[in-house]
Structure 1
Amino acid sequence: MRILALIVMIFAICSCKGNPDSGYNEKMAYLFQSCTEKLDESYGKLLDGEYDVDKSESSYEMKLNEARALSSYIKGIKCEAAQLRPTKTAEGFHVATIAYMTQIVDGYGALLIKYIDEQKKGARKSLLREITDEKARIVALADECFAHQMAFLHQAGIKVDKEIRK
């Protein structure tokens, strides 16, 4: 959540007109934020037990479709991000952010679908541990994205408020 707040602040501070790096940063930060919010929302539901549905329940298909929709949404955001053309200065940030989005779909999203589909409590518990580990990997990727973004902003000569760095 700390990373999200920092990205949002950087997004607000760096929305300078006329600078292609600023425009790129604004758009990519927005896409990153959208992915992070959806992931956090889904993970919160998982921890609250909202995905612990039995196949015989009417909500089973709805929850399975919700998990699939998360992956589909992130894929769409990733496609939009991949179409952005970063300057040389922004390449590291771009690559890191695309990797972050890929990991959400291929790692977290796939495990969440597997979790909902699994009906044995012991297997679900094991999957929950895997998902928690995967979420930690994704958070580490988010930290890498932020580090790349800060380096990119520095190289592009975009001033960042000192309060953000804390």
Structure 2
Amino acid sequence: MRILALVITIFTVCSCRGNFESGYNEKMGNLFQSCTEKLEESYGKLLDGEYDVDKSESSYEMKLNEARALSSYIKGIKCEAVQLRPAKTAEGFHVATVSYMTQIADGYGVLLIKYIDEQKEGARKSLLREITDEKARLAALADECFAHQMACLHQSGIKGDKETRN
């Protein structure tokens, strides 16, 4: 994550071939990072059992609302991202990042809500496997976003090590 933050910072400061507005760089990089952080936070809570609540528990509604809020938050960020206009050199990053955001809200978020709402242990285990698979797909999408960022950085003459992202 530190390397991702470093790349986003560099991405923010630099512009690809001078065609890129630094405002776009900063905003889109921050939106991408925010989505990634929220996803990781939520997935960590899932693995720690924080979403394993019974409907009779007072925390049930709170956890359900937390999962709904994640999807809502990501959809809001996506709306901001869609309104940004990238330079030609950043179109790949833009499209990949919007796709990443869509998949978090419409894939992971929906599954998380189902997981919390489901009360049968066997069904929850099945949903956990689905969520884990979805998280792997999201990691691949995040890698694609990162690759597009790196390509733009390389076009601007900045070298980065693709292997040091994680």
> What TM-score comes out, normalization by structure 1 length?
0.89
Residue of structure 2 equivalent to 1:12: 9
Residue of structure 2 equivalent to 1:35: 35
Q: Residue 24 of structure 1: CA displacement?
A: 2.0
Change over 3 Å in CA distance of 1:39–1:101 after alignment to 2: same
Runs of 5+ in structure 1 lacking a partner? none
Tell whether the 8 Å contact from 1:74 to 1:101 is kept in structure 2 after alignment. Answer: yes
Q: Residue 102 of structure 1: CA displacement?
A: 0.4
Q: Residue 165 of structure 1: CA displacement?
A: 5.6
* Aligned counterparts of 1:97 and 1:132: Cα–Cα separation in 2: 20
* Aligned counterparts of 1:56 and 1:99: Cα–Cα separation in 2: 37
2:3 is matched by which residue type in structure 1? L
Tell whether the 8 Å contact from 2:82 to 2:98 is kept in structure 1 after alignment. Answer: yes
* Aligned counterparts of 1:68 and 1:118: Cα–Cα separation in 2: 15
Say which SS state the counterpart of residue 86 (structure 1) adopts.
Answer: coil
Tell whether the 8 Å contact from 1:17 to 1:23 is kept in structure 2 after alignment. Answer: no
Residue of structure 1 equivalent to 2:158: 159
Say which SS state the counterpart of residue 15 (structure 1) adopts.
Answer: helix
Q: Residue 151 of structure 1: CA displacement?
A: 1.4
Aligned residue pairs: how many? Answer: 161
Aligned ranges for residues 7-156 of structure 1 at < 5 Å?
Answer: 7-16=4-13, 19=18, 20-155=20-155
* Aligned counterparts of 1:69 and 1:164: Cα–Cα separation in 2: 33
* Aligned counterparts of 1:59 and 1:105: Cα–Cα separation in 2: 22
Tell whether the 8 Å contact from 1:64 to 1:117 is kept in structure 2 after alignment. Answer: yes
Change over 3 Å in CA distance of 1:164–1:130 after alignment to 2: closer
Higher relative contact order at CA 8 Å, sep ≥6: structure 1 or structure 2? 2
